Amino acid sequence: MSRTFGPTSAPPIPDPSVLEGVTAPTFAYLPDPSPLFARRAARFRHLAQNHPLSPYLTFLAGLSEAQHAAIAATPAPEPVEAAQVERARANEMPPLDRSHFTTDAAFDTLFERALAEATKIEQPEAARTALERVRMASDVARGEMIRNVLASSIPEEALAEHLYVAAALEVHFARLASQLDASRLVPVGDGVCPTCGGPPVGSLIVNWPTAHGARYCACALCGTLWNFVRVRCTACGSTAGIGYQEVEGGNGAVKAETCDTCHAYSKVFYLAQDDGLDPVADDVASLALDIKQKDGSYRRAAFNPFLLGY
């Protein structure tokens, strides 16, 4: 059974007879797609208030609303076969194989609907032109954009087009993920989503009653959250040479975890400081932290197709 994650739907309070710290945190939480995108839209709108990136954050709120509307208007995809899930588990592989992803009728319907919903967003002319290019793209060109997003490798000259493609893929993969059984997922590698094999957008230090202070990486594509060691590089797995930075005057809700082993950084979001945090929305809104790192010696390890060019 899938389970919503986040502060409004944290795991239930445990049996009080279970001593704190004795139970291991649940390994993974799968997304509940409809509330996920609705909540993200609301978060983008909230973050857009008095923010230097306000127009862009408002646009992304509209895009998240388009994702949410597309879910309501299209049938769910066929669930991944149980045998494939068990095969993946036996081989310590993610059950959703993004490198062999092929489109099907359910995805095509969703894609068209998501693009149609996106036309309703108020957006600058350049964005609207990019959206039209995606809508008019041949199957071959569309397939190439899909592969780019799934490979976390987006060409600089077509960032805007890929943003819409990523939005559709996020919905599709979140829906596939939501149909899985979280208890059948296994760790598949440092900084790798146990559901779809993708990189995290960042990680959350949660304040849930059952896992207070535990850390969960958040998948940029399918929305799975998976448990990760609190002080450890999500890019290379090193536990040595880890440091934390934040922008001047920050409230402690977002920090960059830097690694002196691989010279990468990724963002850590602290729900105790702000329990409305969304890893995707707050990643975009904390662009100042990425700009600060541009002059430093650490490269960004995380992937977020909405953080254009980073």
Q: Which CB, 163 or 169, lies closer to Zn ion?
A: 169
Least Å distance between CB 193 and Zn ion?
3
73 — phi, psi (to 5°)? -100, 0
The answer to whether residue 179 forms part of the interface with Zn ion (CB under 5 A) is: no
- Kindly indicate which of the ranges 66-74, 181-189, 197-205, 271-279 contains the residues binding Zn ion, using the contact rule CB under 5 A: 197-205
Alpha-helical segments (H) within 151-278: 159-178
Q: Which CB, 128 or 184, lies closer to Zn ion?
A: 184
Q: Which CB, 235 or 271, lies closer to Zn ion?
A: 235
Whole-angstrom Cα distance, residue 303 to residue 114?
Answer: 21
Q: Which CB, 92 or 132, lies closer to Zn ion?
A: 92
Whole-angstrom Cα distance, residue 13 to residue 80?
Answer: 31
Per-residue buried b or exposed e for 47-83, using 16+ beta carbons within 10 Å of the residue's own CB: bbeeeeeeebbbbbbbbbbbbbbbbeebeebeebeee
Q: Which CB, 31 or 62, lies closer to Zn ion?
A: 31
Q: How many residues bind Zn ion (CB under 5 A)?
A: 15
Q: Which CB, 146 or 222, lies closer to Zn ion?
A: 222
Least Å distance between CB 277 and Zn ion?
19
The answer to whether residue 202 forms part of the interface with Zn ion (CB under 5 A) is: no
**Interface with Zn ion in residues 232-291 (CB under 5 A):** 233, 235-236, 238, 259, 261-262
Whole-angstrom Cα distance, residue 102 to residue 105?
Answer: 10
* Contacting residue, 26, 64, 123, 195, with Zn ion by CB under 5 A: 195
Least Å distance between CB 173 and Zn ion?
6
* Contacting residue, 62, 95, 198, 305, with Zn ion by CB under 5 A: 198
Whole-angstrom Cα distance, residue 111 to residue 230?
Answer: 37
Amino acid at 187: P
Q: How many residues are there in the chain?
A: 310
Question: And the tokens for 142?
Answer: 């569309």
Per-residue buried b or exposed e for 89-114, using 16+ beta carbons within 10 Å of the residue's own CB: beeebbbbebeebeeeebbeebbebb
- Kindly indicate which of the ranges 20-28, 37-45, 106-114, 228-236 contains the residues binding Zn ion, using the contact rule CB under 5 A: 228-236
Least Å distance between CB 133 and Zn ion?
27
Instruction: Tell me whether residue 42 is exposed, middle or buried, using C-beta atoms within 10 angstroms of its C-beta: 0 to 12, 13 to 18, 19 or more.
Output: middle
Least Å distance between CB 153 and Zn ion?
16
The answer to whether residue 141 forms part of the interface with Zn ion (CB under 5 A) is: no
Strands 225-228 and 215-219: antiparallel
Identify the three-state secondary structure at position 211: helix
The answer to whether residue 193 forms part of the interface with Zn ion (CB under 5 A) is: yes
* Contacting residue, 64, 178, 224, 293, with Zn ion by CB under 5 A: 224
Question: And the tokens for 74?
Answer: 């299209």
Contacting positions for Zn ion (CB under 5 A): 193, 195-196, 198, 219, 221-222, 224, 233, 235-236, 238, 259, 261-262
